[in-house]
Amino acid sequence: MSEFIHAKSIKNNEVRFSDALFYNFLRLITVLIIILFASVFVFLYRSSEPLFLEQGWSFFKETTWSPTTDTYGVLAFVYGTLVSSFIALLFAVPVSMGSALFLTQLCPRFLVSPIRSIIELLAAIPSVVYGLWGIFVLAPFIKNYVQPVLSGLTPGLPFFQGPPFGLGLFTAGLILAIMIIPTITTISIEIFQAVPKLYKEGAKALGATDWEAIKIAVIKPGMAGVLAAITLGLGRAMGETMAVTMVIGNRADISSSLFSPAATMASVIANEYAEAGSNLHSASLTAVGFTLLLISMLVNFGARYIIKKFRGPI
Amino acid sequence: MKSPYNLTEQSFNRKLKNKFMKFIFAFLTVLALIPLFIIFLHVIKSGINAINYDFITQLPAPAGQPGGGIANAILGSITMVALAAIIAVPLGVLGGTYLSEYKGGKLSSVFRFVVDLMTSIPSIIVGLYIYSVIVLPMKGFSAYAGALALALLMFPIVVKSTEEILKLLPTNIREAGLALGIPRWRVIVSIILRGSVPGITTGVLLAIARVSGETAPLLFTAFGNQFWANSLNQPTSSLTVQIYTYAISPFQEWHEQAWGAAFILLLTIFIFNLVARWLLLRNKNEYM
């Protein structure tokens, strides 16, 4: 809004007063929310303090998580979070990019908005429903069909071996992939739409095929934005709780097999917090939460940095 | 110079590659659509059998016994989501108004930053926070705590959507109001906000749909309850937590009920989404 609104043409005290009152009321609310946000960090830190006093930095180096012996280390969960999120990206990125390119560049116009709506509806399905479907439909499918085939094809590799539970890192990653497809797709669509049409027309005028024009004049200029979209998808996958808790098997292990049960930072909190017996146990779970919060913030900053730094032509 | 023969061969390859990549993109789009239909099909198929009159009017049956319902969970969810909306919607609308109408200051850029970060807090962390701020001092799980956790998740969504909607209004509407000598706050409340009610409502409905599906922040704030909660101060059951508890239980009867509850939840969320979209469309036709 321009100077117009800021200009106070009416020198009426009453008007000035009521305006100032409204303005300061809004500012007060804003400040309170900012304080509330800061207090999230303060409270989480304070609740996890007993653990840091007891164990110090070893919490971040320890791979064992054993409430019975009061040994707490976060690494197994960091591993579970990273691997499941990475599997999710592996499946979600090609699918999302493909759909975003199809919808913005190739799709007949009358189909665009129905397909987009359907993909956006995927984001409306609650996490717990994904989890329910994961337990009773996806996990048995993985157990009976996917793992036997994959481990049969690669007898030497450790990644696909182990007893078939159905519940584990791979299943969690697959569910996460479905859940983050809408996030990455909708942001990528916006990115590709923002690329000037002239680029593509120019490329085609030079004799490029459709695919070549898309590669040179749509994907390349939009790359930074797409990277940011992927980072935001990663952030969402790492913080996702219910669906993962229900299908990952919940075991604090670092195993080389993708089909073995594991646990993520979010899943261990959901799984153990309500039953945490000792004070130290609940403090460690809060510390896991604090770590997760910091990592989520970091990923979010990463996405912003990418957008700012490599804004490029759009 | 390449020979003409090579050129045609090259362009044949290029055309083939072009066709192939186009096919891949279409294929990936179909792949993105498949999960929705599969999940829908399963929820409808397994859910519809579980639904009957008892299911939506009775309390849960003891573990392993047939019958019973999820009436308390339905009521608990409605209570907590409504309470959350009562807290988060006014604050969110005011926050969005601040961002759209008083931008440019230092405070507003800090606030915008904080709101963005709030959307990226994992929902389970919100549960942990409310646990240490509300549940511990009040010495018990309650509907209040659950509603506050949901409100915290709802707030940034409402702020963002309100800001987006208000930004759509042209500047000259504001200038016209001010030129008439109307105080600025009246311009904002009676012209800007009033004219944006349909758009803001769309945002609010989407936010409500979003938090009705939340489970993680309720796990250790509202907890759960196999009976009616007599007051807002007691552990309260919700549809989502009930689905979780039933799904991970070993009982066949509960599994079936989990599908039934999922069906009801999904139906509600989709109705909210459809109404929100319809409102947006109608609004668009009217003003743009």
Mutate one of A129, A141, A175, A212 to test the B interface: name it (highest B CB count within 10 A). Answer: A129
Task: Please name the residue of chain A whose CA is at the shortest distance from the CA of residue B170.
Answer: A1
Count of alpha carbons within 13 angstroms of residue B125, beta-carbon side: 31
A residues 240-259 lying closer than 8 A (beta carbon) to B: 240-242, 246
Q: Are residues B95 and B198 in the same domain?
A: yes
Q: Are residues B100 and B174 in the same domain?
A: yes
Contact B269, B209 (CB under 8 A): yes
pLDDT tens-digit map of B256-272? 999 999 999 999 999 99
B residues 56-95 lying closer than 8 A (beta carbon) to A: 91, 94-95
- If you write DSSP's letter for every residue of B215-255 in order, what string do you get? -HHHHTTT---SS--SSTTS----HHHHHHHHHTSS-HHHH
Q: Are residues B103 and B225 in the same domain?
A: yes
- If you write DSSP's letter for every residue of B10-73 in order, what string do you get? HHHHHHHHHHHHHHHHHHHHHHHHHHHHHHHHHHHHHHHHH-SHHHHHSPBPPTT-S-B--HHH
Q: Are residues B160 and B33 in the same domain?
A: no
pLDDT tens-digit map of B77-101? 999 999 999 999 999 999 999 999 9
Name the nearest CA neighbour of B100 among B158, B56, B163, B146. B163
Report which residue type is found at A293: L
Q: What is the pLDDT averaged over residues A45-56? A: 90
B residues 145-204 lying closer than 8 A (beta carbon) to A: 155, 171, 174-175, 178, 181, 183-186, 188-189
Domain interval for residue B27 = 1-42
d(CA B288, CA B170): 12
Q: Are residues B170 and B260 in the same domain?
A: yes
Q: Are residues B149 and B218 in the same domain?
A: yes
The domain that contains B245 carries what CATH number? Answer: 1.10.3720.10
Whether residue B223 lies within 8 A of chain A, CB to CB, comes out as: yes
Name the nearest CA neighbour of A82 among A298, A304, A228, A305. A298
Q: Are residues B16 and B88 in the same domain?
A: no
Q: Are residues B107 and B136 in the same domain?
A: yes
Locate A278 and state its tokens: 């000792």
Q: Give the pLDDT score at A307.
A: 81
d(CA B215, CA B209): 13
Using CB atoms within 10 Å of the CB of residue B194, give its burial: 0 to 12 exposed, 13 to 18 middle, 19+ buried. Answer: exposed
Contact A204, A213 (CB under 8 A): yes
Using CB atoms within 10 Å of the CB of residue A9, give its burial: 0 to 12 exposed, 13 to 18 middle, 19+ buried. Answer: exposed
Q: What is the DSSP letter of A73?
A: -
Distances (CA, A) of B286 to A202, B5, B195, B282, B283: 37, 60, 12, 6, 5
Name the nearest CA neighbour of B108 among A29, A209, A110. A29
Contact B108, B102 (CB under 8 A): yes
Size of interface A-B (CB pairs under 8 A): 250
Q: How far apart are the first and last CA of chain B?
A: 56
What residues in B contact A40, CB-CB < 8 Å?
121, 125, 129
Q: What is the pLDDT averaged over residues B44-49? A: 93
Cβ B244–A130 below 8 Å, yes or no?
no
pLDDT tens-digit map of B142-193? 999 999 999 999 999 999 999 999 998 888 999 999 999 888 999 999 999 9
Q: Are residues B187 and B242 in the same domain?
A: yes
d(CA B248, CA B246): 6
Q: Give the pLDDT score at B118.
A: 94
Q: Where are the beta strands (DSSP E) in chain A?
A: 65-66, 71-72
Cα A207-A211-A214 angle, rounded to 5 deg: 90
A residues 157-216 lying closer than 8 A (beta carbon) to B: 178, 181, 185, 209-212, 214
Contact A265, A81 (CB under 8 A): yes
Name the nearest CA neighbour of B262 among B79, B81, B67, B55. B55
Number of domains in chain B: 2
Provide the b/e sequence for B135-154 (b: ≥16 CB within 10 Å): beeeeebbbbbbbbbbbbbb
Cβ B219–A273 below 8 Å, yes or no?
yes
Q: Are residues B81 and B114 in the same domain?
A: yes
Q: Are residues B9 and B57 in the same domain?
A: no
Q: What is the pLDDT averaged over residues B124-135? A: 94
* ipTM surpasses cut 0.95: no
B48 found inside a domain: no
pLDDT tens-digit map of A192-206? 998 998 999 999 999
B227: number of Cβ within 10 Å: 11
What residues in B contact A25, CB-CB < 8 Å?
94
Q: Are residues B119 and B221 in the same domain?
A: yes
B8 found inside a domain: yes
d(CA A281, CA B36): 39
Q: What is the pLDDT averaged over residues A117-144? A: 93
What residues in A contact B128, CB-CB < 8 Å?
44, 47, 269, 273, 285-286, 289
Q: Give the pLDDT score at B68.
A: 85
Provide CATH code, domain A59-309: 1.10.3720.10
Which residue among A5, A43, A95 places its CB closest to the CB of B32? A95
The rounded percent of chain A whose pLDDT value lies above 70 is: 95
B residues 129-148 lying closer than 8 A (beta carbon) to A: 129, 131-133
Q: What is the pLDDT averaged over residues A80-96? A: 96
Chain-wide mean pLDDT for chain A?
89
Q: In Å, how far from its chain's centre is CA A251? A: 22
Chain-wide mean pLDDT for chain B?
90
Name the nearest CA neighbour of B168 among B192, B134, B141. B192
Query: Does A298 score more than 80 pLDDT?
Result: yes
State the greatest distance between any 2 C-alpha atoms of chain A, in Å, as a whole number: 84
pLDDT-derived band at B8, boundaries 50, 70, 90: low
